[in-house]
A and B are shown apart, each in its own frame.
Chain A
Amino acid sequence: MSIDFYKALEISGIGLACLFIFMAIFFLFIVGIDKMFPFKKEADDK
């Protein structure tokens, strides 16, 4: 296999790990802001 093949494997590992970390951070953020700014009927219906 070429050097690029092993580089691609390494990028895949790092890329997927980063992607899951990103999404986990976004998940925590979404849960957080949803709790901090809950829907209030009158204010948000306006």
Chain B
Amino acid sequence: MKFADLMPAIAFMTWQNLVMIAVGLILIILAIKKQYEPTLLLPMGFGAILVNIPFTAALTQGAGTANEVIGALDVFFKAGIVTEVFPLLIFVAIGAMIDFSPLFQRPSLLMFGAAAQFGIFFTMVLACAVGFNLSEAASIGIIGAADGPTSIIVSAQLAPQLLGPISVCAYSYMALVPIIQPPVIRLLTSKKERQMHMKVEANKKVSRATLIIFPIAITILAGLIAPSSLALLGFLMFGNLIRECGVLNSLSKTAQNELANLVTILLGITIASTMTGERFVRVDTLIIMGLGIFAFVFDTAGGVLFAKLMNMFLPASKKINPMIGACGISAFPMSARVVHGMGLKEDPTNYLLMPAVSANVAGQIGSVIVGGLILMLVPLFI
């Protein structure tokens, strides 16, 4: 009997498999030791180990032959990612977690939810320049949305072959916001600008009717303008309506906890099914990781520079601290916390948390809209 017959997993182990097992271990270490997005990086890390052992029963073996054995991860992938069910369920959970009332404190900050998506488009152009096709480039650019479920939906539709690296980048870079954003903000702002105080109506309350009408009306408005954004935005707003209606507290809590936890477990380990050595260990993956950082950096820059532009037209009493622009990404509440912390570091009496949270909530809406726009626009140009 040959060794390969007796120990096929060892005999057919490739260096790519070993690299991916190491990547899986690194993700697990980052999740546990550094607590970088542990809810996703840990299942993804473990999944990467699981799918890189040759002949793993977690993946379908002998596809198309009489001896075909269907793997559970492939079943999850087809049922949850290809159909987009998992990310959309996550959106219901996120919607139930978001309080949109900070947006009503100073609605003009909503515009940062648009400005801070600049990096997505810039990276898309850059990715085309380095040789990716339009669908792949759009999927890479969306990493800059700092929004895992949106990145998954866009790449699953436009470039499913890149789903693994894009998901890993989207989630791991989200956790790196405190490292990526501060140097970019410092580079683009003066000390005087960072010390700028902002007037906020901190005690302004929003009526219950407004908070109930908001998700319904936004869904209708967005649906009428860009129906392709409805799957993303609609599920987010549905979750929010459950939260705000006041008569479904039990469902709201379930969406925020049990649903979010269950789907997150399945989502992480299912995405890992795409992290096999032969698909992941490629030069393309490294380029995607580099471009993903570009997307984050230029999103931050877009938001900061837009704040500076707005300040040129605003009266002195309404000027915006340019750092607030960086919160227009979807990484909530991490980005708001980072900017608030930077403000306090420059001036211990400078409390930027409220406007930062407002811009960050706008970023959550902006990232979903931009995902829908990309899904609508890219097929028109292919």
Residues of A at the B interface (CB closer than 8 Å) are 1-2, 4-5, 7-12, 14-16, 18-20, 22-27, 29-31, 33-34, 37-40, 43-44
Contacts of A39 in B (CB 8 A): 204-207, 210
> Which 4 A-B residue pairings sit nearest by Cβ, starting from the closest?
A12-B121, A37-B209, A39-B205, A8-B128
Interface of A is mostly: helix
How near does chain B come to A30, taking the closest CB pair, in angstroms?
A: 4
Given known contacts A25-B221, A26-B365, A33 and B210 CB-to-CB distance under 8 angstroms: yes
Q: Specify which of A4, A20, A33 lies most central, judged by the most chain B CB atoms within 10 Å of its CB.
A: A4
B250 interface residue, CB < 8 Å from A? no
Q: Do residues B134 and A7 form an inter-chain contact, with CB atoms below 8 A?
A: yes
Question: Which chain A positions have C-beta within 8 A of B127?
Answer: 8
> When the two chains form the complex, which single residue of B131, B205, B217, B362 contacts A23, counting CB atoms closer than 8 Å?
B362
Give Cα A46–Cα B109 distance, bound, in whole angstroms.
29
Q: Does B245 contact A (CB under 8 A)?
A: no
Do B125 and A37 have beta carbons less than 8 Å apart?
Answer: no
On whether the beta carbons of B225 and A22 are closer than 8 Å, the reply is yes
Q: Does B374 contact A (CB under 8 A)?
A: yes
Partner-binding segment picked from B110-118, B167-175, B254-262: B110-118
Residues of B within 8 A of A (CB): 103-104, 107-108, 110-111, 113-114, 117-118, 121-122, 124-125, 127-129, 131-134, 137-138, 204-210, 213-214, 217-218, 221-222, 225-226, 362, 365-366, 369-370, 373-374, 377-378, 381
Q: What are the residues of chain B within 8 A of A34 when measuring CB–CB?
A: 104, 107, 206, 210
Q: Are B207 and A11 in contact (CB under 8 A)?
A: no
Are B226 and A18 in contact (CB-based, < 8 A)?
yes
**Are A37 and B373 in touch, CB under 8 angstroms?**
no
Given that A22-B369, A23-B113, A44-B207 are known contacts, is A11 also in contact with B107, CB under 8 Å in the complex?
A: no
Q: How far is the CB of A46 from chain B (nearest CB, A)?
A: 8
Is there contact, CB below 8 Å, between B110 and A30? yes
A–B Cβ pairs within 8 angstroms, 9 of them: A1-B128, A12-B124, A14-B377, A19-B114, A20-B114, A22-B114, A26-B110, A26-B218, A27-B107
Report the separation of the CA atoms of residues A24 and B205 in the bound assembly, to the nearest whole angstrom.
Answer: 22
Residues from chain B with a CB closer than 8 A to the CB of A38 are 207
- B124 near A23: Cβ-Cβ < 8 Å: no
Q: Cβ of B217: which chain A residues have Cβ within 8 Å of it? A: 29, 33
With beta carbons under 8 angstroms apart, the residue of B204, B221, B366, B378 that contacts A29 is: B221
Q: Do residues A37 and B124 form an inter-chain contact, with CB atoms below 8 A?
A: no
In contact, B125 and A9 (Cβ under 8 angstroms): yes
User: In angstroms, how far is the closest chain B Cβ from the Cβ of A17?
Assistant: 10
Query: Shortest beta-carbon distance, A24 to chain B, in Å?
Result: 8
**B210 and A8 contacting across the interface, CB-CB below 8 Å:** no
Q: How far is the CB of B367 from chain A (nearest CB, A)?
A: 10
On whether the beta carbons of B137 and A18 are closer than 8 Å, the reply is no
Q: With A2-B131, A12-B125, A39-B205 given, name 10 new contacts (CB 8 A).
A: A8-B128, A11-B381, A18-B373, A19-B369, A27-B108, A27-B111, A29-B217, A34-B206, A38-B207, A43-B208
Residues of A within 8 A of B117 (CB): 16, 19
Least Cβ distance of B213 to chain A in Å? Answer: 6
Best-surrounded residue of B111, B207, B374 (most CB of chain A within 10 A): B207
